[in-house]
Structure 1
């Protein structure tokens, strides 16, 4: 299909090239060979009369014209996918599409198991891809790399709709043999203990702080971090045999209390309740399949 002499299939290639800034990675994303992707870039350069991507060492840099195209191209493709390509009717029993949710390990432990059971009852052939938490949830959503984000309220993108799922608060966990904390956990005890925390880093150099970490940083509470882990749910086990402390979601702490030699305490710095949100792209609000799944997620979360 062409529009003003532009093969619209090239827009898909352009979107991948602008996002990846690497011909090999763009080719993988497009399921094309590297020569075919290079050929698409040549045709795009000719059409726009601009280099678009300029080699600089081992990477490609966007020209000013290419930077101007990033958002419009992504927007056009998203609109095509949601208004033209989307099926007007949705039959859960026959649906075989793959839907991607960006979730934390906490969400995976608390929300996903009952959600999968709920979906399986009516849509057994539907496939779910769970993607790790990211330090760029807004970008993931914009690029169509996830159908839904399940993230704390402070990380939601302002330009896209969202719905509250459930709230959560925090408890501190120590080994039952901890020599620093006895009858109660004071603020001085909290600061004196070494901390075990979760960090969620990916391919970038930055990481997405947990909600409690974001709060502590906001109010300049300095914790002495001695252990970092890529998962929140594992933290209670990592304090065993030490005088360290972990601050985790209440549900995780209470589960650990049932099976591990640990004690739980109210955190002396009063951490606000976490509001877990569901977010989706504004142009996909009317997709029948996504609307159905969205309702199931909200219904399941109400039971959590």
Structure 2
């Protein structure tokens, strides 16, 4: 079937139903009546000779065919959007656009404050959604335009996902002031291994990067506490004799109110590089270029 015989607006409706899982929510998202959404879905069903969505309770569940075509549809719609935006000048001072950026929770405390301060000055009506997205879904969401950019460690993604290094970071260790085993701001390996440690990780199990490096030397530390967030870990450090191994730039932020000692990690570690990711289909999109420039600028000012 030739594309000239197909109403492309139907695919916008298809994506809205898929994203919302509901005809009612899709109609609200698109500012259309529910009968209009239902009519468009009926035309799509005829076009594909497939129900595309089946009702299960209050949710419209996509069929296998719908799941197989959603990503190509989203990429095509994103391509049209980028083409249209490319002929328009993006004016951050007047734009009311909301950008979506994937950001690991350990980076939020470092990146969001200076970024929002920058937006308040140069783009007062621009909004930001900071999201945590599974690394397996990162590429497909960037391609579909549900994400505008992502900040993370170096990841094995396809050439369609562009990336550039934002910052280099190094590993440090936090211990409380007046720690009985740490004197004169010095921390050697014997003392480090004698300490009990906190691991801050969203994962339920598994070693940290520092544990891999220690194991290369035939060494092992004792993890006394495993928790989810560095802020919580930093507070525990301030009230106990436990130690926390942490990226330096993050330590400079989360440790401000606790005044723990920040000490060099007593072993040479690979640098903790952080990268900015975006999809090739927005390489020249003025709005995305502006967003990337802002993210690059604010990360360059982070302490550490």
Superposition TM-score, scaled by structure 1 size: 0.75
Shift of residue 110, structure 1, vs aligned partner:
3.1
For residues 271 and 290 of structure 1, do their structure 2 counterparts lie closer, same or farther at Cα, with a shift above 3 Å needed? same
CA spacing shift, 1:184–1:80, aligned 2, 3 Å = same
Q: Equivalent residue for 2:208?
A: 213
Do 2:195 and 2:243's aligned partners in 1 also have CA atoms closer than 8 Å? Answer: no
Aligned counterparts of 1:247 and 1:90: Cα–Cα separation in 2: 42
Q: Tell me: CA distance 1:63–1:92, structure 2 relative to 1, closer, same or farther (3 Å).
A: closer
Which residue does the alignment assign to 1:127? 126
Tell me the secondary structure at the aligned position of residue 145 of structure 2: coil
For residue 168 of structure 1, give the secondary structure of its aligned residue in structure 2. coil
In the alignment, what sits opposite 1:65? 65
Q: Measure, in 2, the Cα distance between the counterparts of 1:124 and 1:209.
A: 41
Q: Deviations over 1:90-117 (max 9, x none)?
A: 3343333222333244544334444444
Q: For 1:169-208, what aligned pairs fall within 5 Å after superposition?
A: 169-176=170-177, 184=187, 186=189, 189-190=192-193, 193-199=196-202
Partner of 2:45: 45
Give the Cα–Cα distance (whole angstroms) in 2 for the partners of residues 289 and 95 of structure 1: 9
Identify the range of structure 1 (180-189 vs 74-83) with the bigger mean alpha-carbon deviation. 180-189
CA drift of 1:79 comes to 0.7
Distance 1:3 1:257, change over 3 A: closer
**What is the alpha-carbon distance in structure 2 between the residues aligned to residue 117 and residue 298 of structure 1?**
14
Per mean C-alpha deviation after superposition, the further-off stretch among 69-78 and 50-59 is 50-59
Query: Residue 16 and residue 258 in structure 1: after superposition, are their counterparts in 2 closer, same or farther (change >3 A)?
Result: closer
Which residue in 2 is equivalent to 1:235?
A: 233
Query: Which residue of structure 1 lines up, in the alignment, with residue 300 of structure 2?
Result: 302
Asked if the contact 1:181–1:189 (Cα under 8 Å) also holds between the matched residues in 2, the reply is: no
Aligned partner of residue 127 in structure 2, secondary structure: strand
Tell me the equivalent position of 1:286.
284
* Contact 2:139–2:161 (8 Å) recurs in 1: no
Shift of 1:15: 2.0
Partner SS for 2:239 = coil
Q: Is the 8 A contact 2:92 2:126 kept in 1?
A: no
Aligned to 2:10: 10
Q: Structure 1 158/18 Cα, relative in aligned 2: closer, same or farther at 3 Å?
A: farther
CA apart distance, 1:249: 1.8
Secondary structure of the corresponding residue to residue 93 of structure 2: helix
List gaps (5 residues or longer) in structure 1: 200-206
Is the 8 Å Cα contact of residues 163 and 277 (structure 2) preserved in structure 1? yes
Partner of 1:81: 81
Structure 1 residues 268, 60: closer, same or farther in 2, change over 3 A?
farther
Q: 2:97 — aligned with what?
A: 97
TM-score of the aligned structures, taking structure 2 as reference length: 0.75
Q: Which residue of 1 aligns with 2:153?
A: 152
- Measure, in 1, the Cα distance between the counterparts of 2:48 and 2:263: 62
> What is the CA deviation profile of residues 253-283 of structure 1, one whole-angstrom value per residue up to 9, with x for unaligned ones?
2456654252333335644212211122221
CA contact (8 A) 1:105 1:233 kept: no
Q: Quick check: 1:175–1:241 contact (8 Å CA) kept in 2?
A: yes
Task: Give the distance between the partners of 1:133 and 1:191, measured in 2 at CA.
Answer: 35
1:248 lines up with 2:209 in the alignment: no
